[in-house]
Amino acid sequence: MAGWAEATALLVIDMQRGYDSEEQYGLRNNPGCEMNIGMLLEAWRSQGWPVVTVQYDDPDEYSLLRPGTSGNALKPVAAGEADLSVRKSVQSAFFGRPDLHAWLQENGIKSVAVCGVRTNTSCEVTARMAADLGYEVLFVMDATYTFDLKGPDGVVLRGRELAKTTGMNLEFAGCRVMYTSELVG
């Protein structure tokens, strides 16, 4: 046990190279995301607090995020040493391997800060599940990004709109939506 009972674990979700493909994923919001994640990682590591990286292993054989491809690799900002590395093939980091919830419990961690890629899918789902499991959740909005998305009615919602909606959803669900400057000063 690392003595993290009062620490907040930083969950860096799906910061993978494949998401850099505008051709596949379209336009993204928040170009400052990587810089903010870098600041969070630096702050967490300087405090000796736990860092968890999560990677999406897309089972689709044509995906840029499938295992064994360069797109599955973490981006340089997230590629440093992690205290736990979780692999998943679904949206929530809590359904990955190794078991994130068990690891947090074993280490006495009661609080998580969520950042990474896709604000409105993997990040939001992980944050909601963390809250449902009883963790204090800090959702670091400016350390996430997402993409413009066309709905079933053909209307395109911009990434910034989807992110704003996620923030509202998470506040309603009992999470604290925050910004990098509030955590690292």
Domains along the chain? 8-184 (3.40.50.850)
Q: What are the two backbone dihedrals, phi and then psi, of residue 159, each rounded to the nearest 5 degrees?
A: -55, -40
This prediction has a pTM of: 0.97
| 76-109 pLDDT per residue, tens | 999 989 999 999 999 999 999 999 999 999 999 9
- The whole-number pLDDT of residue 1 equals 47
Sign of CA dihedral 74, 78, 82, 88: negative
Confidence of residue 5 (pLDDT cuts 50, 70, 90): confident
